[in-house]
Homo-oligomer: A and B are copies of this chain.
Amino acid sequence: MRSVCVIGLGLIGGSVLRAAAAAGRTVWGATGSAADSDAAAADGYTVAAVADALKRAADEDALVVLAVPLPAVDQVLRQVADVAPHCLLTDVVSVKGPVADAVARHAPEARFAGGHPMAGTSASGWSASSTDLFRGAAWVVVADDDTEVAAWRAAADLAIDCGAHVVPVTADEHDAAVARISHLPHVLAAVLASCGADGGPLALALAAGSFGDGTRVMGSRPELVLAMCEGNRPALLGAVDDALGKLGAARGALASTGSLGATIRAGHSGRARLAELRAAGTTRVIVDLTDRDVIDELQSVGAQGGRVVAFEGDLAIAEIPAD
């Protein structure tokens, strides 16, 4: 089993380190945060300086996992280029296009496949990390037309070892999708929380389930939300425009006809579609990773809402929702 070097030991990086170790991998980490470094060392994990951790990764052909916030990616990549230029490399940052651009710019020799585990909590830091954070979660591993299959496989193996299933998609498809189902929810939650607070103490005293649910993610640290949303600016603009159009249409219908029927029924259908997809049976698909058009096949799995759940030799075992 390939060793794993994790740079950044917050909630996600820390959980990767723990889960990979629990799966029997040799692991070590590095972080710029003294608090996270001390806490990880106190829990018995090997923590080194970033350059030393990367040097060891090069020596042992380990998989390097970038688990720092997007604004810190460039700096770590320059160290990768210095110390471990040809390493197997993935990341767990919440946008994939900008990270791919940064890798192409700073560490173009790295054997890179971007990643994004769709798991988290409103807490942060090593102290919030856990071995089980990714159990049952979706974990995107980017399959772009120029992705090296061995790099994709190395990142996907880690995701499976952490208890997740792997969703193979292009970086652009990923960024458009998460704009809709992760970043837009944060923007709408912020708008809702502001509108509620503007109603004064009476409005907040009456707030019950719908307001609590709709604003929950605003309990997260603003810096983390901002790094995530602002890092996906082009795709998020499209999603916000879609929401503005739909909200404006709801406004117009309510004002002119008194009806919100189209808005509420479409919302109900959308939520039902989510439940249906989760309850749907699946069709099993086998992707041979030695095929010439393996990237196309992987992209097709992801575009259909499917996922890779296991590997057997060079075969990826995928499940696709049945209609």
Contact = CB atoms under 8 A, between A and B. Distances in A.
Interface string A201-216: 1111111111111111
Given A180-B195, A233-B258, A263-B187, A206 B118 contact: yes
22 contacts: A118-B208, A119-B208, A138-B208, A167-B202, A177-B202, A178-B206, A186-B210, A187-B250, A187-B260, A189-B210, A191-B246, A194-B266, A195-B242, A213-B216, A214-B217, A218-B270, A219-B275, A226-B259, A226-B261, A229-B254, A230-B260, A237-B254
A138 B204 CA distance: 11
Contacts of A177: 199, 202-203, 206
Nearest to A266: B194
Contacts of A195: 180, 184, 239, 242-243, 246, 270
A188 B247 contact: yes
Given A254-B237, A267-B218, A192 B202 contact: no
Given A246-B194, A270-B215, A181 B199 contact: yes
A180 to B, nearest CB: 4
Interface size range of chain A in the complex = 35 or more
Contacts of A302: 202, 205
A204 to B, nearest CB: 5
A286 interface: no
A260 B210 contact: no
Is chain A's binding surface mostly helix, strand, loop or mixed?
A: helix
B244 A208 contact: no
A197 interface: yes
A192 B184 contact: yes
A120 B211 CA distance: 13
A170 to B, nearest CB: 10
Interface string A117-141: 0111100000000000000011010
Contacts of A247: 187-188, 191, 240, 243-244, 247
Nearest to A321: B201
Contacts of A95: none
A203 to B, nearest CB: 4
Nearest to A244: B247
Contacts of A212: 274
B240 A259 contact: no
Interface string A251-275: 1001100111101111111110111
Contact of A251 (B140, B193, B201, B237): B237
A44 B177 CA distance: 52
The 4 closest A-B pairs by CB, nearest first: A190-B267, A201-B305, A197-B270, A193-B270
Contacts of A248: 244
Contacts of A217: 209-210, 213-214
Contacts of A182: 206-208, 210-211
A301 to B, nearest CB: 10
Contacts of A267: 189-194, 215, 218
Contacts of A244: 244, 247-248, 251
Interface string A157-198: 000000000010100011011101110111111111111111
